[in-house]
Structures are given as structure tokens and as C-alpha cells.
Structure 1
């Protein structure tokens, strides 16, 4: 009889441990915030005068996003102030692309502007157009010009601002998600620089909420369009990204 009671007690104890383990795993998954991830699919080298596809694959929480609000590719040549903003089409399975023909050799930056799930991500990649000698010669002509390769060199940090619409005169939560090499960037120093054309710049420090999430509270006094620059410092990197937000 004692053996039966002991065996039954062991079974009950084992069941309780399994339930507790399942609850722990569920809580861990709930604490992990889903992140809008954008993987660039752009060649490292591009031939002159040849139609080339620039693409990216968009996922959210590991699942493909087929209903992104906006996907555009911004393209510019280092040393030039001219920029192209190209509307991408959806190819299916979370992939978005645009076709472009490059007619001048040099080093170019390609930024995918992706808005989905009320988040924004802007991964960037530099590419060489033409053979290396042509590109080097073209870059040398504008190496001291505004917008040169050195000025636009950035770390592989994805900065996603959660919201770009706020109400005037009310406290607004500025939330940004940071990832580096596809993983949440933690223990960073994050500041928001906020300004409206013609007005002074305001700086607000963000709190680290964990798992690559940083948040600050600011108040937009006037209606209209504001610029918000996200400054990120961690280890030996200093990254920044400018977003436009609407205040109603």
C-alpha cells in the first residue's frame, strides 16, 4: 500500500514539474518582443548599364510579412547629393524588389525603407558599380564632398521606430527597437534628438527596457512634421538614424 501511495505521489510531483516548466517557457516567449527584421538581397558588385534587381525579405517575429505598409529603396552615389527613392513591388513570400540600371561607376548606398506592423526598419548596404578601378576612380573624385563614403559609413545596426504619429501637447512615448546582426542590441546609450524646422533641437535620453527596446517620453508642442534623430552608442559604435514623424 505504501509503495502505491509513493508511486502516485511521484507521478503527481512529476506532472506538477512539467506544468511549471511549460509555464516558464511560455513566459519566456511572451517576454521576447517580436522585431521587424529586414534582410537585404542586393549584390556586392553591379555591372554598369545592366538592369539589376534590388530586393529585401521582410519578417516579423520570424514569419514572412506579405502586407507591408510601405517598402521603398533609397539609392545614392557617394559624393553626390542626388538620391533616388524607388517604390518596391511584392514578389511574394515576404520578398520585395525593384529593378534599377546604374549608368555611372562608383560606390553606392542602398537603403530599404520598410514600414510594417507599425514599425519601421532601414537596413543599409554599400555596393560597387562598375569594375573596381572605375569605382575607385569615381570615388576619388568626390572623396571630400558632402555625402562621401566616409560620411555615410554606418555600422550594421537596425533601428526601428515603433510609431511615427503623435498628438500635439500630449506626452508621447518614443519607442525604438535595436538589432545588430539580427540580434537585440542591449546595454546601449540611446538619445532622441527632436526638432521642427526653424525651432531649436531638444534631446531626450531613453531608458533601456531590455531585449533591444528603448523608450523615452517627449511632448511635441506644435502640429506638423518633426524630425527625430535616434542616436545609438554601444561599445565602439556610434550610429544614428533620422525619422520624420507627424504631429496632429
Structure 2
């Protein structure tokens, strides 16, 4: 009889232990995926013919990234087809910078192209160089990427390589002011060379992550424009992908 009582006690202890472990698993919240964040540091107004530093700070999951795979700054004057692509200097503590002297007044766009932790982020900021006419400042010339881009908006396409004739998922992670942007209307515009543009509506699968199903029927390089609309935001970003 003592053996029976001992067995029952052991069985009850095991059941209680398993129940506690199961409850702990249920209460444990899933970890949010880390985001690659890039913040451009540049004055809104810059003096003409003066050497100026333009920088960005790169973080991943809140930690400074000192070993980014690539950081470049794309700079162009609105209305001009010439785009300068400058390789950034690593200054440490997650900061990367370039120096440039602007010799023509006008409105310029600065895009930081950052690749790190198998992710890519390319925030954009507009700056004004020298004095502009009141009419130009009021109406603006948004050639290039189009529209006013919020510097604190982050749009990241998760994958850049796909297989031909295989159903895939286009996934974009979108953040605003450092937090996942939720309940946004997101569409993927996809085209190859001068071919037809296909629009695919995306669904939010988790906070700030939007996905859409697609199938690429030809190998090659495609352009993917990610359209984002939310409240007063109306932005887009173009990425290049490879289909093998």
C-alpha cells in the first residue's frame, strides 16, 4: 500500500509540474522581431558653398550597429537627373557620415542606403540649400522619389531574392517613429524592365508586417514599389529584387 501511495504522490507531482510548465509557456509573450532602424542626421537648411556633414545612426533592436555591410548616401537636387552616390565613413557608435559641398541653391533629397543584419533600410530626408523663391518652397518640386517623405518612416522589404515560377510572399516591415506602423493600407507595385505594372494588395500579418502572395514567371531583375497609406501618411519606396 505504501508503494501505491508513493506512486500516486509522484504522479500528482508530475502532473502539477507539467501544468505549471504549460501555463508558463502560455503566459510567455512572443518576442517582437528586431528592426533595423536608420535615422538621418542633417540640417533642414544648409548654407551654400560650405562643406557640410550628413550622417545617419544605425541601430538594430535598439543596439548601435558598428559593422554594417554597406552605408551609402544618395543625394540629388529636385528636378535634376544627376544623383550622387557617396560611400559613408564609419565613425563608430552606429554613426556613418559623408561630407559634401553644395554649389547650387535649391531643394535636395538625401537617401541613406543601409544594409546590415540581412536587412535593408533607406530613409529619405529633404533639405534646402541656400535661398529659394517663395513659390518654390510653397509648391516644391518632388522629382525623383515623389511626394514628401517622412524622415521617421522606415520601409523594409524583407527578402531580395526569389525563385521563378514558385509562389512566394512579398514581406515588408514598416515602422513610424521607431514603432511598428499598424492598420496601414499597403500595396506592392511590381514590374520588370518596361513591362506591365502589377498591383498587389498586402495584408497585415502582425504588427507592422505586411505580406502579399506573388509568383514571378520570368528570371531577372524586378522593381518593387511599396505604397504605404495611413492617416496623413502617403509614402512609397522602390526596391530591386532578383528572380533566379
TM-score tier by shorter-chain length is: 0.7 to 0.9
| C-alpha distance in 1 between matches for 2:49 and 2:25 | 57
Of the three residues 194, 198, 203, the one matched with 1:207 is 203
Q: Which runs of 5+ in 1 are unaligned?
A: 1-15
Confirm or deny: 8 A CA contact 1:81 1:146 kept in the other structure. Answer: no
Q: What residue in structure 2 maps to residue 36 of structure 1?
A: 36
Q: Which residue of 1 aligns with 2:164?
A: 168
Cα distance in 2 for residues equivalent to 1:20 and 1:96: 46
Task: Indicate how the Cα distance of structure 1 residues 168 and 189 shifts in structure 2: closer, same or farther if over 3 A, else same.
Answer: same
Q: 2:235 matched to 1:235?
A: no
- The residue correspondences of 1:51-200 to structure 2 (distance < 5 A) are 51-130=51-130, 134-136=131-133, 139=136, 147=143, 151-155=146-150, 156-200=152-196
Question: Paired residue for 1:3?
Answer: none
CA contact (8 A) 2:48 2:104 kept: yes
TM-score by length of 2: 0.82
Question: Post-superposition shift, 1:23?
Answer: 7.5
* C-alpha spacing 1:148/1:232, structure 2 compared with 1 (3 Å): closer
Change (3 A) 1:118 1:51: same
Match of residue 3 from structure 2: none
Superposition map of 1:17-36 within 5 A? 24=27, 27-28=28-29, 30-36=30-36
Q: Deviations over 1:110-163 (max 9, x none)?
A: 111111122221111111212xxx2337947xx6867189x4312342101111
- Closer, same or farther: CA 52–20 of 1 in aligned 2, 3 Å: farther
Looking at structure 2, the residues matched to 146 and 126 of structure 1 have their Cα atoms a distance apart, in angstroms, of: 10
1:49 Cα offset (Å)? 1.5
Which ranges of structure 2 fall in alignment gaps of 5 or more residues? Answer: 1-18
- CA RMSD of the aligned region, Å? 2.7
1:13 paired residue number? none
Contact kept? 1:113, 1:121, Cα under 8 Å: yes
Q: Is the 8 A contact 2:79 2:141 kept in 1?
A: yes
Aligned length: 225
Deviation at 1:31, TM superposition (A): 3.1
Q: Structure 1 residue 79: deviation in Å? A: 2.4
Q: Could you tell me whether the CA contact under 8 Å between 2:142 and 2:148 is conserved in 1?
A: no
